[in-house]
């Protein structure tokens, strides 16, 4: 299935596996009142808007594992949704723009070389963590307060302009990355992120798997619990966490993101 752009799609949809190059308007746009749409594994290049979730009475949408490249705008979100695993690069205006909503989750994404990495307008209480912000013209525009860490207060984001030091060697910086007076990332990563890289050295190897192994089977509060190992944030260290790391075993952030 090919979209040439300017699509209006209503209801609950699964939109996957499309390649849209030189779309005239929006590559994939949802304008509707549905819930639980999935937009996954699409590639949109050289269009006006890559992916747009517009308006209004909807929630639970998932935007995952898409590549949005060299558009004017990358991913526009004004719907309560989860945006994860996407690569948004070289979009001239912004990588992602959150507008007017709360409770949006933006995690495990890669924003590189966009005019603005993430632009947040009239939107507060959204969670933005485990993302890479690399060499965007402006890394972030935020005015209202948002949340820049994950559930266990141990994961932030990677910022290529962060010059922090890491005295205790846990892979996150000594001091917060200050965005503005309302926003800071308390756990800036020392290297670009890929899922499963628990010690933030930019690769997934035995060091990461060992951290999970030592805590395996524990739940929150258990003596061997290690919050770093709970990759899916369900308060249990188990097979789901191990699968995330082992799926990326041997990868670096460059091979994972194709950079």
User: Which residues of this chain interact with Ca ion, rule CB under 5 A?
Assistant: 166, 168, 170, 172, 197, 199, 201, 208, 230, 232, 234, 236, 241
Nearest residue (CB) to Ca ion, 3 versus 148: 148
- The verdict on whether omega for the bond into residue 157 sits within 30 degrees of 0, i.e. cis, is no
Nearest residue (CB) to Ca ion, 168 versus 181: 168
Q: How far is the CB of 2 from Ca ion (least distance, A)?
A: 38
Nearest residue (CB) to Ca ion, 116 versus 204: 204
Q: Classify strands 177-180 and 183-185 as parallel, antiparallel or unpaired.
A: antiparallel
Rounded-to-10 torsion of CA 234, 240, 241, 244: -130
Q: How far is the CB of 98 from Ca ion (least distance, A)?
A: 26
Q: 102 is written with which tokens? A: 């709360």
**Separation in Å, CA 226 to CA 197, 207, 223, 231:** 14, 14, 9, 10
Nearest residue (CB) to Ca ion, 33 versus 220: 220
Q: How far is the CB of 257 from Ca ion (least distance, A)?
A: 15
Q: How far is the CB of 217 from Ca ion (least distance, A)?
A: 11
H/E stretch holding 40 reads: strand 38-40
């Amino acid at each position: 299935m090919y979209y040439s752009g300017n699509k209006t799609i209503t209801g609950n949809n699964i939109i996957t596996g499309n390649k849209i190059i030189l779309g005239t308007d929006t590559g994939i746009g949802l304008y509707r009142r549905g819930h639980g749409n999935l937009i996954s594994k699409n590639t949109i290049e050289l269009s006006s808007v890559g992916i747009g979730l517009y308006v209004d009475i909807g929630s639970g949408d998932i935007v995952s594992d898409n590549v949005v490249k060299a558009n004017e705008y990358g991913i526009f979100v004004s719907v309560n949704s989860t945006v994860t695993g996407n690569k948004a690069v070289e979009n001239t205006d912004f990588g992602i723009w959150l507008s007017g909503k709360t409770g949006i989750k933006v995690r495990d994404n890669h924003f590189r070389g966009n005019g603005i990495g993430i632009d947040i307008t009239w939107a507060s209480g959204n969670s933005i963590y485990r993302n890479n912000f690399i060499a965007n013209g402006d890394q972030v525009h935020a005015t209202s307060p948002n949340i820049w860490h994950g559930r266990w207060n141990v994961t932030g984001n990677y910022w290529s302009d962060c010059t922090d030091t890491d005295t205790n060697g846990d892979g996150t910086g000594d001091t917060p990355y200050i965005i503005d007076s309302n926003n800071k990332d308390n756990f800036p990563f020392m290297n670009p992120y890929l899922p499963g890289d628990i010690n933030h050295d930019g690769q997934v190897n035995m060091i990461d798997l060992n951290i999970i192994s030592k805590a395996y089977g524990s739940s929150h509060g258990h003596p061997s619990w290690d919050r770093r190992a709970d990759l899916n944030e369900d308060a249990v260290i188990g097979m789901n966490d191990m699968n995330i790391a082992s799926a990326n075993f041997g990868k670096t952030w460059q091979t994972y993101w194709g950079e």
